[in-house]
Amino acid sequence: MNYKIAICDDAAADRDYLSDLVQHWAACRGHTVQLRSFSSAEQFLFHYAEEKDFDILLLDIELGAMDGISLAKQLRQERDTVQILFITGYPDFILEGYDVAALHYLLKPVDQEKLSLVLDRAVGNLCKSRKTILLDTGGELRKFPVDTIEYVEAFSHSVAVVTTSGTYTVKKSLSEMSNLLGKEFVRCHRSYLAGLKYISRISKTELVLDGGTVLPLARSAFSTVHRAFVSYYTGEDHETV
C-alpha cells in the first residue's frame, strides 16, 4: 500500500534520521511512502492547506513558536483519521499527547524496531477507517479501498476502474459507480468519474491527474468540478467566476 507521511521536526538531523527509519520500515513491509519533511508547525500548515491527505504524522512536540500539541489540536478539528505519533526528547510532555488522540509517543533517539511497531499500528488503524467497496471483476469478488481509485471510465456495458495498482473491468453503469464511490468523486464528463484526491489541475476543457493522465472536462460540468475540487482541499465552497 501507499501511504503519505509527514515528519515535522525543527532539527534537520532528526528529520533526516526519522526519514531513514521510515524508508527502512516501508521497504521491509512492502509499502511505498510519499514522505515530506517540515521544519516548523507553520511550514506544515502552509502545505497542509493545499494537501490534506496525509495518513501519518511524526510530530516533534518542541517545535518553537507553535508547538506540536497545538498543531495536533488544530488538525483534530478537521480530521480524526490522521495517525499522529509524537516524537520528544522530554518524557514530561508525554501525557499531553493523549488529549489529541495521539497514536503513541517515542523518546529520542528513536529506535527502529519501536518505530516500526508503531507504524504497523498506524497502518492497521488506517485500514479499518478506510472506506472500501466490493466489486465483481469477471467472476471474482474483490475489495477496493476507495482512496486507491484514480478514475472510472464508462464503456457500453461496463466500466474500467483505474486504481493505483491496476485497471479492472466491472459490469456496472457510471451512475451506479458514482453512488458507490460518494462525494470524493466527481463526474467530469458523461464517460468519466474522477477521484478528487488525484486531480492535479483543471483547465476549461480537461483534468490532469497526478500521474499525468488527462481526462476530458465537459463544459456543463466545469463549475461543479471546480467547486468540488476547491472544497476538497480547503473545506470551503467557492463559486467559479
pLDDT tens sequence across 21-64: 999 999 999 988 989 999 998 999 888 887 777 889 999 887 77
- 124 contacts: CB under 8 Å, gap ≥ 6: none
**159 with 172: CB under 8 angstroms?**
yes
**Helix, strand, coil percentages, rounded to 5, for the chain:** 40, 30, 30
Residues 28, 116: Cα–Cα separation, whole Å: 9
Q: Give all domains of the chain, ordered by start, each with its CATH number.
A: 2-129 (3.40.50.2300), 132-234 (2.40.50.1020)
Please say if the pLDDT value at position 102 is more than 90.
no
Predicted local distance difference test score (pLDDT) of residue 127: 77
- 38 contacts: CB under 8 Å, gap ≥ 6: 6, 7, 8, 9, 44, 47
Grid cell for residue 205: 476543457
Q: Using alpha carbons only, how large is the chain's radius of gyration in Å?
A: 20
Grid cell for residue 181: 464511490
Q: 206 - beta bridge partners?
A: 216
Query: How many CA atoms are closer than 13 Å to the CA of 4, on its beta-carbon side?
Result: 11
Least Cα distance to 23 among 12, 31, 15, 11 occurs for 31
User: In which band, very low, low, confident or very high, does the pLDDT at 112 lie, cut at 50, 70 and 90?
Assistant: very high
User: In which band, very low, low, confident or very high, does the pLDDT at 80 lie, cut at 50, 70 and 90?
Assistant: low
> pLDDT by residue (tens digit) across 177-228?
999 998 889 999 999 999 998 998 999 999 999 889 999 999 999 999 999 9
pTM above 0.75, yes or no: no
Grid cell for residue 138: 469477471
Mean pLDDT score, 110-128: 90
